[in-house]
Structure 1
Amino acid sequence: MEKGEKTRKYIIAKAAELFNQKGYSGSSLSDITELTGIKKGGIYRHFSSKDEIAYEAFSYAGSIVGAQLAHAISQQETASGKLLAYLHVYEKVVEAPPFIGGCPLLNTAIESDDSHPGLRERAQQALIGTLESKKKIISEGVQSGEFKADLDIEALATFSLSIMEGGIMMSKLEGNNRHIRMNIKSFAAYLKKECLREPS
């Protein structure tokens, strides 16, 4: 990798941490230069604007979390286990989140809802991708006979993501992992009672 590309990737990685903790609006270009040790001229050699950095940073943060989710899911053999793996990745969200600052999708969605259409669009695409991944897992669970044949796949995907993001938000706000952990237990019980096909 050439020096220029290394520098660009370094700026993106550091900006991703900054934006995910302080938000896009709460972070200035001066914050990025201070964090990276690179002057504004050096930043602008690689990026045309703060927006471009933000888009790249969001993608980078998503890729880091996505890799951890993919690994956790790959360790599970059942569809139920794979759905629960999403939540387990955030089980220690307060002190050890998969990416510094918490969930990039949640943080970006909340901040950009009314203030930044470009970031909002990227958060929407990430949401769609996450739901599609969950629906694929659920569909495979139905096809294998693990889940009930008449299960509402889209509703379960939405529900599972909602309790994950809600648990993350509440645990982060309170500074205690108990909310995400309670949601893990509650979701596991729900899957067992409402979604699993009864043995014939």
Structure 2
Amino acid sequence: MSKGQITKARILHQAAELFNQQGYAGSSMSDVMDVTGLKKGGIYNHFKTKDELSLAAFDYAIATLAQHHRAVLRQHHHAADRLLGIMAVFSSFIDHPPVAGGCPLMNTAIEADDAHPALKARAQQAMTNLRKLLCHIVDTGIAKGELQPAVDSDVFATILISTIEGAIMISKLYDDPVHLERAIAHLTDYIDEYLRI
């Protein structure tokens, strides 16, 4: 990597963590300068606007999350174990988030709502990709005889994501991981008792 590419990667990493902790609206370019140690011109040399940086930082955060998902999929072959592995990635968000500040998808979805249409569109696409991944795991598991054939993969994906993201939010609100632990335990029981063949 060239010096410029290394600097750009460092800006993305540090900006992704800043935005994920303070929000996009709550982070100024001065904040970005503080965390990167660069002057405004050094940042604008790589990103023309704060909006461009925010989109690139979100993409970076989601790519980091996706790396964790791919690692889990490489480790497990049975569909139920793959689902449990994806859940383990999310359960790590309380103590060891892939990007400081928790789940970048949930944080961005909440903040971007209607205030930042381009960021909202990115968050929607990232959520669609996550839902497609879960549906693919379930549908493949059904086809291979690993999961119960009656399960609706799209419904399951919605319930799994909603349960985990809601539990992450409650755990962060109370600074108590027990809420996420309860949700993971419930989903684990469901997968092992009702889905797994």
Normalising by structure 1, report the TM-score.
0.93
Partner residue in 2 for 1:56: 56
Partner residue in 2 for 1:46: 46
> What is the letter of the counterpart of residue 127 of structure 2?
L
Q: Which is further off, 57-66 or 69-78?
A: 69-78
Give runs of aligned pairs for residues 26-37 of structure 1, distance below 5 A.
26-37=26-37
Query: Would you say the 8 A contact 1:12–1:56 is kept in 2?
Result: yes
Query: Post-superposition shift, 1:98?
Result: 2.3
Query: Post-superposition shift, 1:89?
Result: 1.5
Tell me how far apart the structure 2 counterparts of residues 174 and 78 of structure 1 sit (CA, whole Å): 35
> What is the letter of the counterpart of residue 47 of structure 1?
F
Tell me how far apart the structure 2 counterparts of residues 70 and 16 of structure 1 sit (CA, whole Å): 20
> What is the letter of the counterpart of residue 14 of structure 2?
K
Tell me how far apart the structure 2 counterparts of residues 77 and 4 of structure 1 sit (CA, whole Å): 40
Query: Would you say the 8 A contact 2:16–2:99 is kept in 1?
Result: no
| 3-state secondary structure, aligned to 2:91 | coil
Partner residue in 2 for 1:180: 180
Query: Post-superposition shift, 1:118?
Result: 0.7
> What is the letter of the counterpart of residue 189 of structure 1?
D
> What is the letter of the counterpart of residue 160 of structure 1?
L
Partner residue in 2 for 1:134: 134
Query: Post-superposition shift, 1:172?
Result: 1.3
Does the C-alpha gap of structure 1 residues 92 and 2 become closer, same or farther in structure 2, counting only changes over 3 Å?
Answer: closer
CA RMSD of the aligned region, Å? 1.3
Query: Post-superposition shift, 1:157?
Result: 1.2
> What is the letter of the counterpart of residue 52 of structure 1?
E
| 3-state secondary structure, aligned to 1:189 | helix
Give runs of aligned pairs for residues 58-73 of structure 1, distance below 5 A.
58-73=58-73
**Number of residues paired by the alignment?**
197
Query: Would you say the 8 A contact 1:90–1:180 is kept in 2?
Result: no
Query: Post-superposition shift, 1:162?
Result: 1.3
Partner residue in 1 for 2:124: 124
Tell me how far apart the structure 2 counterparts of residues 192 and 72 of structure 1 sit (CA, whole Å): 18
Tell me how far apart the structure 2 counterparts of residues 163 and 81 of structure 1 sit (CA, whole Å): 18
Give runs of aligned pairs for residues 1-200 of structure 1, distance below 5 A.
1-197=1-197
The 4+ residue runs of structure 1 with deviation greater than 4 A are: none
Deviations 1:50-74 (A, max 9, x none): 0000011001111111111221232
Tell me how far apart the structure 2 counterparts of residues 115 and 163 of structure 1 sit (CA, whole Å): 25
> What is the letter of the counterpart of residue 15 of structure 2?
A
Tell me how far apart the structure 1 counterparts of residues 87 and 192 of structure 2 sit (CA, whole Å): 16
Query: Post-superposition shift, 1:189?
Result: 1.4
Tell me how far apart the structure 2 counterparts of residues 124 and 144 of structure 1 sit (CA, whole Å): 30
Normalising by structure 2, report the TM-score.
0.95
Q: Percent identity?
A: 41
Does the C-alpha gap of structure 1 residues 192 and 92 become closer, same or farther in structure 2, counting only changes over 3 Å?
Answer: closer
| 3-state secondary structure, aligned to 1:169 | helix
